[in-house]
Amino acid sequence: MAPQLDPYFKKVDELSESFIDRLRKAVAIPSVSAEDERRPEVVRMGQFLADELKKLGAEVEQRPLGKQPHKEHLDLPPVVVARYGNDKNKRTILVYGHYDVQPAQIEDGWATKPFELTIDDKDRMFGRGSTDDKGPVLGWLNAIEAHQKAGIDFPVNLLCCFEGMEEYGSEGLDDFINAEAKKYFKDADAVCISDNYWLGTEKPCLTYGLRGCNYYSIEVSGPGQDLHSGVFGGTAQEPMTDLINVMSKLVDNQGKILIPGINEMVAPVTEEEKKLYGPIAYTMDNLYESLGSKTGIFDNKEQTLMARWRYPSLSLHGVEGAFSAPGAKTVIPAKVTGKFSIRTVPDMKPEAVTEAVYKYVKDEFAKLNSKNKLNVYLQHDGKWWVASPSHWNFSAAAKAVKQVFGTDPDYTREGGSIPVTLTFEEATGKNVLLLPMGSSTDGAHSINEKLDRRNYIEGTKLLGAYLHYVAEEKMT
């Protein structure tokens, strides 16, 4: 029997303005984990969440994680853990989200103040963190409140794990999850994470795979200090020239990784797997809308989606130490650091990828016969993840999507990395589901980040419906 969800849905609609106000209050807290001076704001956001959960009757703890590695003057923000319900006859679902956000300044090109929720005439709600990940996190709180005020029994025991360092590498979280897997999280039957996005803008999806991410730095140094190009140009071997030479050898403009051995690590694509891509509701126009241009590498859906999910990619991210301000400055930098990442997929081993990167970068630098010095190092890595979409956790979510949106979901992978997904799977031994709220055009990490009102309110319905279906789904 399908759960009777109409009273819950009706109550979500009735409470929608207060739910938006809750999001408005959350967005107003500039909880930027990457900026030292805003660490108190991250802590304040964690306190806001804890207070909201307590008002709803949850048992809440703020667990300290200690000092931040390499920045011992800073405390890591606490992990907010909460339990709502303790009925031995109900399933227990563990949900994860994060309450920190990416940096944002109006000078970056925002059309609105990034830490003020601004709603336009298309019901798009702009603000840093609106979709990544404050809206989805608050969706769980909204679901609890709507059940309470509709007088509906909450169908599961809900465990919450909300962290404040996701946008800065989730430092300290893996150790915490591993330590609590057989303690605080011991009775979890499944895990649900809402920290990714629909493939397009109209059709919901369930995500069963993620690429990993190895992030590298290439440091080239020579002179003892920055030099004037009018005085020393043509007399010194310049670190920037060497760095650009090396970085230009990493990937071509068609996205092909040029490091030997990398592509050979990738698991072959089966014919059965290829067939999954045809039915997915996605067009090249969806890509162009997200890009804001028609600069895609491929001209068809299947190749585009495989390049995004199924194959590795290498992206160049920037150069530290170089002049980057507006105007002209004739400086020769004494040391520059280039940054790039490789998105990994099955069956790539992070250690093997790093070994191949080190060898290739050193070999290419050696070909320059430079008197400058090279240092290449790994900043961080995170493994790829793939789950079984036939698990009862996924089938329950699929029924919820059908109930709320009137359509079957697409089953997708995701090109980005959410390392905590694999950590939860390995630590708890339970199936992990990615159940997104936002859409592909939300602009997470970018300027003008937004969450559509429809996605937020219908997404709150979806999270609640999922809990009802997962409570009764037969284990497979």
The closest alpha carbon to 151, from 307, 11, 44, belongs to: 11
Write down which residue in 351, 382, 413 finishes a domain: 382
Residue 304 labelled as part of a binding site = no
Residue 188 sits in the same domain as residue 56 = yes
SS3 425: helix
- Indicate whether 273 belongs to any domain: no
Residue 126 sits in the same domain as residue 250 = no
Residue 149 sits in the same domain as residue 126 = yes
- Indicate whether 290 belongs to any domain: no
- Indicate whether 293 belongs to any domain: no
Residue 195 labelled as part of a binding site = yes
Residue 198 sits in the same domain as residue 336 = no
pTM score of the predicted model = 0.84
Residue 433 sits in the same domain as residue 332 = no
From the list 41, 52, 100, 242, the catalytic residue is 100
Residue 293 labelled as part of a binding site = no
Length of the chain in terms of residues written: 476
From the list 41, 166, 189, 238, the catalytic residue is 166
Residue 337 labelled as part of a binding site = no
Residue 405 sits in the same domain as residue 356 = no
Residue 59 sits in the same domain as residue 130 = yes
Residue 330 labelled as part of a binding site = yes
Residue 20 sits in the same domain as residue 144 = yes
Instruction: Please give the residue range of the domain that contains residue 369.
Output: 213-266+311-382
- Indicate whether 297 belongs to any domain: no
Count CA atoms closer than 13 A to 315's CA, side-chain side: 12
Strand partners, 450: 126
Residue 335 sits in the same domain as residue 390 = no
Residue 353 sits in the same domain as residue 364 = yes
- Indicate whether 137 belongs to any domain: yes
Write down which residue in 382, 413, 434 finishes a domain: 382
Write down which residue in 382, 405, 434 finishes a domain: 382
- Indicate whether 89 belongs to any domain: yes
Question: Does the annotation count 166 as an active-site position?
Answer: yes
- Indicate whether 351 belongs to any domain: yes
Which CATH number covers residue 416? Answer: 3.40.630.10
Which CATH number covers residue 345? Answer: 3.30.70.360
Q: Could you list the beta-strand ranges (E) of 267-330.
A: 313-320
Residue 25 sits in the same domain as residue 119 = yes
Inter-residue contact 125 to 453 (CB < 8 Å): yes
Residue 82 sits in the same domain as residue 170 = yes
Question: Does the annotation count 37 as an active-site position?
Answer: no
The sign one gets for the Cα dihedral 163, 166, 172, 178 is positive
In tens digits, the chain (476 residues) has pLDDT values of: 578 899 999 999 999 999 999 999 999 999 999 999 999 999 999 999 999 999 999 999 999 999 999 899 999 999 999 999 999 999 999 999 999 999 999 999 999 999 999 999 999 999 999 999 999 999 999 999 999 999 999 999 999 999 999 999 899 999 999 999 999 999 999 999 999 999 888 899 999 999 999 999 999 999 999 999 999 999 999 999 999 999 999 999 999 999 999 999 999 988 878 887 888 988 999 889 878 899 999 999 999 999 999 999 999 999 999 999 999 999 999 999 999 999 999 999 999 999 999 999 999 999 999 999 999 999 988 899 989 888 999 999 999 999 999 999 998 998 888 889 999 999 999 999 999 999 989 999 999 999 999 999 999 999 999 999 999 998 86
Strand partners, 342: 214, 314
- Indicate whether 274 belongs to any domain: no
Total domains present in the chain = 2
Q: Which tokens hold the place of 71? A: 């920045």
The closest alpha carbon to 254, from 307, 212, 213, belongs to: 307
